[in-house]
Amino acid sequence: SKIFLSSQDVAWEEKGAFTGAVAPAQLLDAGCTHAIIGHSERRKIFLETDEVINKKMKAAIKANLVPVLCIGETLEERESQKTYRVLETQLNGAFAGITAAEAAKVVIAYEPVWAIGTGKTATPDQAQDAHVFVRKQVERIYGKPYAEAVRVLYGGSVKADNVDELMAQPDIDGALVGGESLKADKFLRVIHFQAVLSR
What pLDDT was estimated at residue 105? 92
- State the average pLDDT for the chain: 93
Measured CA distances, 150 to 64, 104, 112, 138 (Å): 17, 7, 19, 9
What pLDDT was estimated at residue 195? 67
CATH 3.20.20.70, applies to 5-191: yes
pLDDT in tens, 167-195: 999 999 999 998 889 999 999 999 988 86
Looking from the CA of 73 toward its CB, the CA atoms found within 13 Å total 21
User: pTM score, two decimals?
Assistant: 0.93
Higher model confidence: residue 165 or residue 1? 165
What pLDDT was estimated at residue 197? 55
Provide mean pLDDT across the span 19-31: 93
pLDDT in tens, 132-162: 999 999 999 999 999 999 999 999 889 999 9
Give the active site residues.
39, 111
Distance CA 126, CA 44 (A): 23
With bands split at pLDDT 50, 70 and 90, how would you rate the model's confidence at 70?
very high
Provide mean pLDDT across the span 21-43: 95
* Cβ partners under 8 Å of residue 45, min gap 6: none
Residue extents of the structural domains in the chain:
5-191
What pLDDT was estimated at residue 199? 43
